[in-house]
Amino acid sequence: MSDQPNISSLSFTHGQVVQTIEAMHIAEWLDRPALDSILKKLRRDFVPFSAEELAKPQWEQVRYGFVHLVECIVAIKMMADGMSHRHIVALLTFDRKRLRDAYLRAFSESQSGLGAPIPIKHPDGREITISGLYLDFMATINKLGVLSSSGPRLLDPWQAVNRYMGAYMGLHPLPPIRLSDLATEAVRIAVLMPELKRGRRPGNSEN
């Protein structure tokens, strides 16, 4: 879409990410301090940053790019759907490159390419249109709490409908995540969030 921001140049503070998730109402029972705490716990387990991305002086504030913002949103959505912290971390760190490519494609093709709108028409004339890409881990959790997944993949609108409505005898995979919707909404909100000053760097300069 021509009016989309240049996502490669986006840069957010931790506070802006917290405010964005709060404004998206993904987990409304969590207040801002609780969201802040959960995101910091995820970060200690390298979600959404790799160890290399976190290797910087303590005084230097960590900045969230587009992929980091979206991964935080996805993590909170998975938590809201009932997934445990350890399973969220396992799925989001298993194949980081493929996931980040998925975030970028889901945003850029939210209404085009693989995510182009398709109509679904009922025999009585009713019609709906679906679009965007969905993130699917085909993840299952057995009775012992062991997580299994074939890794992340993107679904087009038709594949997503088939996954939602498909029959799985003896198998109950976790549902796909509406990635395009979450990514576009996150960017739309995050760019409007004010950046608050915090702390001071050595030498009494502003951080």
List the structure tokens of 99: 């996931």
Output Rg (C-alpha) for the chain, integer angstroms: 18
**Strand, helix or coil at 27?**
coil
Which of 2, 3, 1, 5 is closest to 187 using CA atoms? 5
Rounded to whole angstroms, how far apart are CA atoms 122 and 70? 34
Tell me which residues of the chain have a pLDDT lower than 70: 1-3, 57-60, 166-173, 197-207
Which of 98, 195, 103 is closest to 150 using CA atoms? 98
| Beta strands at 127-130 and 153-155: parallel, antiparallel or unpaired | unpaired
Which of 199, 207, 183 is closest to 20 using CA atoms? 183
What is the pLDDT, as a whole number, of residue 90? 94
Measure the CA dihedral 4/151/44/20, to 10°: 30
Whose tokens are 């074939």? That residue is: 150
Rounded to whole angstroms, how far apart are CA atoms 18 and 22? 6
Residue % of the chain over a pLDDT of 90 = 69
Domain boundaries of the chain, sorted by first residue: 7-196
Instruction: Give the C-alpha distances (Å, rounded to integers) separating 118 from 103, 145, 154.
Output: 21, 37, 16
Strand partners, 172: none
What is the pLDDT, as a whole number, of residue 59? 57
Rounded to whole angstroms, how far apart are CA atoms 105 and 134? 10
Rounded to whole angstroms, how far apart are CA atoms 74 and 68? 10
58 contact partners, CB below 8 Å, separation of at least 6: none
What is the pLDDT, as a whole number, of residue 76? 97
